[in-house]
Structure 1
Amino acid sequence: IFLDRLWKGIELELCFHDAKYYIIPSAKSKVVRKVE
């Protein structure tokens, strides 16, 4: 998964409409939330 490529020391909030997932990598953890 390309999530590791987004892995940096910053917080990102990306919304992928195709997968309908919120992928929020933070400085300490990676959180993937499914959009209901």
Structure 2
Amino acid sequence: DERAAGQERLDKLHELDELRPGAYDNAIIYKRRPDAFMIRT
């Protein structure tokens, strides 16, 4: 049971590691977006 719980924690950590690069890319895109709107006005 302890071994299964440890494996489940590791699986969740691996999922988070897979999501992190996408979140970073999305933050960069979001940060650039307002700049594009400011140039127009």
**TM-score normalised by length of structure 2:** 0.16
User: Which of structures 1 and 2 has the larger relative contact order (alpha carbons within 8 angstroms, sep 6+)?
Assistant: 1
Bigger share in strand: 1
Larger Rg: 2
